[in-house]
Amino acid sequence: MLSIQLLLMALTSVLSLASAAGPEGCSTAAARFDIANTTIAYVSYHKAGEVIDLPGTSDTCYGFTTNITANLCRVVLDTATSDSSSVHFEAWLPDDWNGRFVGTGGGGLGGCIDYGSVGNAARLGFAAFGTNSGHNGSSGIDYFLNQPEVIKDFGYRANHVQAQVGKELSKQYYGRPTEYNYYIGCSTAGRQGLSSATLYPDDYDGMLLGAPGVEWIRIVTQWYLIAERYGWPDVNTSAYVTYQQFEAIAAKTIEILDGEDGVVDGMIDNPTHLKLDPQIFSCGAGFLNDSVCLQNGEQVNTVRLAYQPMVDLSGHFVYPSFTLGADPRTFASNTINGTGGFGSTFPQVRDYFRGIVYNDSNWSDLNLSIADVEYASSLDVGLTNTPISKAHLGEFKEAGGKIISYHGRWDPTVPSELTEWYYSGAQANMNASLDDMHDFYRIFFIPGMSHCSTGPGAWDIGQGSPLDPDMLDAEHNAYLALVNWVEQGQAPDLLVGTKYENDDVASRNILAQRSK
């Protein structure tokens, strides 16, 4: 079993890096770096436990400070990707380097460095990189309007450049090449990982991908299309179902289906294989009280439609249904002052269609239709969508690459069934057997986990921040399981998830553990 100790280089190797790493090596690093099209903004040395400010960070990102997780050299840099675009990076280069490089991505519309993932990786001894995917901030359209090169960076190029620059910077800093190269990310960052594995199969040796946001255009539009199925933005019809009703239905669905896996624990283990007739939520059926029960057949049909897969203009299924029992807040909280509107609930739709699809700041999300979605998908501007129809990982497999993917069964943002669809699509496109797929690509579904993390289930497999020092082994930490697979050939058959009190990993107060 791989432990944190096995991630560190032998003492002699560490000592041989002393002249390159550490405070003295960091102080002279800027003068030593020479990377094409790259400008070093600044270099600074930090001790583990420091809290540093992040000037210039967008208020749509994760905060204006972050915690340093190891004694390391922090490098801030920018790489030009065209005459009109560049990508912003941070490198955290730990003194106790383990010979490995890791790149990370960002969620939503990108634009934010994932300091949690960067910090976790540096804590484990990786030379860790983070990127803003070519623009600053996770909402807005100004950086996309009339900027096709910036869109390419967000779609696929930033991650490729991150791999190139990250490996070279690590080599120049430590004085020798990286031995293995990894990528970690969730949601949009998961999509970016699969895109890289397809387009640039030699960039990374292994990938840890959570809830990959493939079919990205359909992900960000699903809430609108679900709501429109029952008349939104007209919220005053007899068919309209309120958020309070949907919330009660989701809770009762869990109660009804919970025991299907043989254990009553407040979670549905495999919701994609279960069905439920919404007729049972009608008034008088005895399942819901009069304040939230479905008042008529139109409301029953509304709920039935909400839990059906998305279709294209020809009526073909193109996207999974909303997950039974998942939190319906995003598509059901769709009123502003009593009228139809999403407000700030899911601004990526407006930003994406205004800035990328139509290049029109006046486009209204209230007019979104299936035709818009099909048009955007057909364009796939900047390869931002990563459709299942183009899922093909044959070259990545042939290069020896490995993928561990995880997905919460309680995910309200990216239905876990989408990961099943992508896996099956890649298998079909590659003409591969299930054993062929298992040889390089394994998925772990986590009951009770929301989007990427948190939730009522035992969700923590090392993807959260901070890391629990008692869980740094290949059974409890997916990072280390991936390293074990890539470098030792030991494929993971299970991961043990941990549920902490109040989802506070730092407390180390464990409520439950469960194998996946």
Instruction: Collect the ranges in the chain with pLDDT lower than 70.
Output: 1-19, 336-338, 340-346
Long-range contacts of 283-288 (CB under 8 A, 24+ apart): 287/252, 287/256, 288/245, 288/248, 288/249, 288/252
What is residue 199's predicted lDDT score, i.e. its pLDDT?
Answer: 98
Do both 42 and 169 map to the same domain? yes
What is residue 228's predicted lDDT score, i.e. its pLDDT?
Answer: 83
Last residue of one domain, picked from the residues 359, 382, 405: 382
Q: Is the dihedral of CA 471, 475, 480, 482 positive or negative?
A: negative
Do both 443 and 338 map to the same domain? no
Do both 302 and 404 map to the same domain? no
Last residue of one domain, picked from the residues 382, 416, 432: 382
What is residue 337's predicted lDDT score, i.e. its pLDDT?
Answer: 67
Do both 201 and 318 map to the same domain? no
Do both 438 and 455 map to the same domain? yes
Do both 447 and 481 map to the same domain? yes
Do both 336 and 396 map to the same domain? no
Active-site entry in 85, 170, 187, 405: 187
What is residue 367's predicted lDDT score, i.e. its pLDDT?
Answer: 79
What is residue 139's predicted lDDT score, i.e. its pLDDT?
Answer: 84
Instruction: Round to whole Å and give the CA distance between 427 and 394.
Output: 9
What is residue 15's predicted lDDT score, i.e. its pLDDT?
Answer: 39
pTM here is 0.93
Do both 226 and 360 map to the same domain? yes
What is residue 345's predicted lDDT score, i.e. its pLDDT?
Answer: 53
Our answer to whether residue 451 is catalytic in this structure is yes
Do both 369 and 267 map to the same domain? yes
What is residue 346's predicted lDDT score, i.e. its pLDDT?
Answer: 66
CB atoms within 10 A of CB 435: 7
- What is the residue range of 209's domain? 179-214+386-516
Q: Helix/strand/coil (H, E, C) string of 277-305?
A: CHHHHECCCCCCCCCCCECCHHHHHHHHH
Q: Helix/strand/coil (H, E, C) string of 473-510?
A: ECCCCHHHHHHHHHHHCCCCCCCEEEEEHHHCHHHCCE
Instruction: Round to whole Å and give the CA distance between 404 and 250.
Output: 30
Instruction: Round to whole Å and give the CA distance between 159 and 154.
Output: 8
What is residue 21's predicted lDDT score, i.e. its pLDDT?
Answer: 87
Active-site entry in 88, 135, 160, 451: 451
Our answer to whether residue 476 is catalytic in this structure is no
Do both 24 and 109 map to the same domain? yes
Do both 282 and 315 map to the same domain? yes
What is residue 62's predicted lDDT score, i.e. its pLDDT?
Answer: 85
Our answer to whether residue 135 is catalytic in this structure is no
Question: What mean pLDDT is reported for the chain?
Answer: 92
What is residue 5's predicted lDDT score, i.e. its pLDDT?
Answer: 47
Pairing of strands 38-46, 100-104: unpaired
Last residue of one domain, picked from the residues 361, 382, 403: 382
- Domain total in the chain: 3
Residue at token pair 């583990």: 48
> What are the strands, taking DSSP E only, across 95-151?
100-104, 127-131
Do both 206 and 306 map to the same domain? no
What is residue 219's predicted lDDT score, i.e. its pLDDT?
Answer: 93
Phi-psi region of 215 (alpha: psi -120 to 50; beta: other; left: phi over 0): left
What is residue 16's predicted lDDT score, i.e. its pLDDT?
Answer: 45
Residue at token pair 């990508």: 87
Active-site entry in 95, 203, 365, 411: 411
Specify the CATH number for the domain of residue 390.
3.40.50
